[in-house]
Chains A and B, each alone.
Chain A
């Protein structure tokens, strides 16, 4: 299930990526956040109770949308544009 709903700009080329190892597809010009949340419902688990989080501010301020890319880099999903063959993994968080 998706969290975000596309309303406009639907005629863009598709971009393939993987999410937690599973193949997925989004559109050119999507942020990593848009790509993940148009095909699933969260971006990360919270640090101390592993609750699902899906970002909050979308402007690089709240720091609640960090995900990991295949090359080990960690990026803010809201301010990173999706690229072909991004291998995105979501960190589950930890329950203290």
Chain B
């Protein structure tokens, strides 16, 4: 069996966060969090005004509230919160690559209202014993929501820091009971041209559905999560509502949005960007400052938001700074070849 379940101790970044920093993190608690959770988090509840108070309320499905009340906040946080400051909600939701809603960075925020996220179901199929079509709430039900504050490094050499809410991808895969033939996980985004104007463009080079894939051990890694929310609320449509992948050590395009299908497969899937430009985008797409994109350097990144006077250029780290956790997955591999 290829499945490797890492120990919780692997989440080293949160381990090295000093307790003072951890406790001083300003947290949103307002109304949403129930009494029980409130007591458990009293230390942080008493902290100053919340990070998320300015975040506009969404329109979550009924089942989302109870999941949020029981969420495990700050499950993984940056080792250096001063360097990796949270990107403002406004920027994280108005600067998106989501080509189903247009190729401009502000197109998704403008066009994604038309996406219908409730109800939402996901097909889990392929090399599994427990497959089928599942309502999203049933997929999420057995897992506790966790907050993961991750760096997000786009292949276009910009980056953000986003507080996601999600569940471990490994939990979902395990519950599907993969067979011994399951070597890869393939993901697909919704195809609905009436809701997704970008899918109507006859000039689009993407062959819908947008497709992504992970190797089984990557998918089972505890850092890989299926996201349902961000900034203490459910995902806004333009950020991949209601259900998306987040793989923080890979370039952003791997973290596929608005997932409707998860297939366990034997052969390595061809992801959408690899299909368009195999010389520019690979299957692995691990963040790697030593391997340039053919058209630009990946050695540095622009941490957003930036300004005209400060482009905020910082060094890109191997595996986006998650090398301690994930480097072992790629031991002995030529990362120049498997870019």
A binds B: no
